[in-house]
Amino acid sequence: MVPASLESQKHLVKDFLPVIVGILLISDSGSGERYCDKLQFMNDGVRLIAIDIDGTLLDSKGKLSEENKHAVDAAVDAGIEVSLVTGRRFSMAERIATLFDHDLTVIANNGAVIKTSRSHHLSYKDPLPLPAARQALYATRAFRSSCVAHSEDSECGQLVCEGIDPNNLPLRWYLDKSKEDVRYVESLEEFLAVDPIQLMFGGSVEVMNGVIQAVIPLVEAGVVKMSRTEYLRNDVSIIDILSPTCSKAAALKFLLARHGWTPENLMAIGDNHNDHDMLELSRIAVVMGQSVDELKTAGRHVTATNDDCGVAQAIQRFVLG
């Protein structure tokens, strides 16, 4: 872990990097007026870029394009902080974050965890309170074969379930990617002794709509928060049951406050329902060309699709210029 005093010095250097670069460029090229205009935008404009991973940063095959990688690295080189903000658990998001040249901040589990991608420094955690988790499990008992609890019993986290419906192909595929972390138990209620990070339900849109209806009373009572991600073309829906104070926006507010920034300094890029709150928070809200229709409202900017490097185009347009 980096000592707090050293961490503060790192942030100070990062904050003034554009100024230092500007002085060098002005003295070297004489193009002071033009660069000062751009420098003013950088100082008063975007300081933090929040990027969703699946359906946004990655293409439809789950690959990171060279264009998107270059744009993210270029933004960090210019003194902008970039955070990958995702519904993935940290160990799965880390596989993407470490493809970049820098130690990026990762907001995982839809805002429940904030860690750095390489140093694994944990700066924020908002798990689902155990009593709330047990209430949610009881309310959704009819859907237990679609439920996975995200636990922290091992360094990379565990996926705990009672048993998965063999016909639930999306959830089977999800668990097969992390076989080493999957643990089967007789009873989730009995297994959970501490606050889990979250409960997750996955399956067809129709079945997951049943989960939503079962959880709505708990959401309305402020016991839990519910996050939804849908891929209608593939008939896949993911429902995350989270702490009532957990969201992508809440985690981003923490990051902004740590730097002394405000939502005016935030640019967010997303494509799905679980990105709604961070898009609402940001001054510059960008949605992908193939995003769900409800996000393409309220004057939000629409970039190219994830297969056409929409993230790179947005960063170039609003940050790098």
Residues 141 and 219 in one domain: yes
Lowest mean pLDDT segment, chosen from 56-60, 231-235, 296-300: 296-300
pLDDT of 153 strictly over 70: no
Domain shared by 83 and 56, yes or no: yes
d(CA 53, CA 62) in angstroms, rounded, equals: 9
Mean pLDDT to the nearest integer, 238-252:
97
Same-domain check for residues 145 and 224: yes
118 and 262 in a single domain? The answer is: yes
Q: Per mean pLDDT, which range of 43-52, 78-87, 166-175, 232-241 is the poorest?
A: 43-52
Cα torsion at 114, 76, 315, 272 (round to 10°)? Answer: -10
Q: Judge whether residue 19 has pLDDT over 70.
A: no
Q: By residue range, what is the domain housing residue 177?
A: 130-242
102 belongs to a structural domain = yes
Look up the pTM and report it.
0.84
In a domain, 39, yes or no: no
Euclidean distance between CA atoms 108 and 116, whole angstroms:
10
Residue 11 has pLDDT above 70, yes or no: no
Q: Are 108 and 256 members of one domain?
A: yes
Give the rounded percent of residues in the chain with a pLDDT score beyond 70: 85
Contact 240, 272 (CB under 8 A): no
Mean pLDDT of 187-196: 92
Report pLDDT for 157: 59
User: Does some domain include residue 19?
Assistant: no
Q: Say if residue 133's pLDDT is above 50.
A: yes
What is the tens place of the pLDDT at every residue in 281-312?
Answer: 999 999 999 999 989 987 899 999 999 999 99
Contact present, 218 and 137 (Cβ < 8 Å): no
Report pLDDT digits (tens) over 94-119: 999 999 999 999 999 999 999 999 98
Residue 177 lies in a domain: yes
Distance CA 13, CA 59 (A): 34
Number of folded domains in the chain?
2
Residue 254 lies in a domain: yes
Distance (Å) of CA 61 to CA 55, 65, 220? 9, 11, 37
Q: What CATH number is associated with residue 193?
A: 3.30.1240.10
Tokens of 214: 């079962």
